[in-house]
Amino acid sequence: MNFDFSQEEEDFIKEVRNFIKEEKLKDNAEIVFAPNREADATTKVDSAPRRAFMKELAKKGYLGMSWPKKYGGQEKDGIYDYLLNEELATVGAPAPGKGVGSIGQTIIRHCSEKLKKEFLPQILNADIEFALGYSEPGAGSDLASLKLKAEKKEGGWLINGQKTWTSSAHFAEWYWLAARTGPDQPKHKGISVFLVPMDDPGIEVHPIETMGEHHTNGVFLTDVFVPDEYVVGEVNKGWIYICEALNYERFTFYTIGPLENKFENLLELVNNLKRDGKTLKEFPEVKNKIIELAIDVEKAKVLQRKVLSVAIKDEVPSVEAAIFKLFSTQLSQKMANTAMDILGREGLFHKDGKDAIAEGKWEWSYRGTVVDTIGAGTSEIQKNTIAKKALELPL
């Protein structure tokens, strides 16, 4: 594996960093850029600043870089999408997200010309945002068990049921919704995907605040009618589209910058904070813990580069991605736990408290990293993937 970027890629990184430097001079920079944010940057930034930042990304031509030119893209290698997201994640900025990645690419591959003309230009111009309607109260990691019902009617489908953990539902315009259309078929073969406007009167959005202060939602759908023309691809082939859509995120989801930032913050803390007249780094037990974390961060970086090395070859890095996701999220949790152990009772102060060390970052991180091990596939699901696909162990 060659982990070095080409000269063109290095030039692009410099270009993005210059763009970020200019954006940080704007009045809303403190809202848009927040590297200490412990939850999804896209959903924690207020709507107007986030939208404005997405518009700037669109003006720079950073949206849909790997799309075909026929649909407004530049046909660049997917590595450029990753490099953009890595730089944005490192400074805590909102990333282009699912509209450009999983949803846009799936529309290009499988949707009608009508849907392509309606949605693709809006995505590239940052005029639209989507929510993913996958998880349900009884169908999270086992997504194929979803029960949201879509019943065939003249000219369309009538949808009833509930979704949960829909993180963008409170600001998105459209719902990328998976529903059961073939109740008598095997569970993987009776699913379809629909495009549904979020302002439909039959949709109710109820906020859910996680322990990490991440805003997600429960969504209830009552007699929501969706015309046939807003079915994605073919009826009952939704499972294929869902799996493809998730694979499109391989270049962008697995960034390492935020983890490296977190370690640097902890290192700065132990280099400067004193106990009994000595800095924390002078205590052998603290020094040993920091050394162990430094080694783990380097391991995580190698695992992340393995994901890229497979994805760049147009292969699906399912095992590599599972290993990195499992290791990196547990490492982030380990780092928060270590920081709390080092800080003792003073580390328990909430970020809103006036005496909070490091503005309460580590207490917040302690809560937020629990959510990280659940989102985008729980640690248990990642272990199942590794066991089945890499080790050929029975599940």
Residues 6+ apart with CB under 8 A from 97: 42, 129
pLDDT grade for 41, boundaries at 50, 70 and 90: very low
The domains located in the chain, with CATH, are 7-96 (1.10.540.10), 131-239 (2.40.110.10), 254-390 (1.20.140.10)
pLDDT grade for 248, boundaries at 50, 70 and 90: low
Measured CA to CA, the distance from residue 323 to residue 306 in angstroms comes to: 10
Pick from 91-105, 157-171, 256-270: least confident: 91-105
Question: What pLDDT is stored for residue 71 in this prediction?
Answer: 95
pTM for the model stands at: 0.86
Ranked by mean pLDDT, which of 83-92, 173-182, 208-217, 374-383 comes out on top? Answer: 173-182
Question: What pLDDT is stored for residue 24 in this prediction?
Answer: 94
CB 290 within 8 A of CB 266: yes
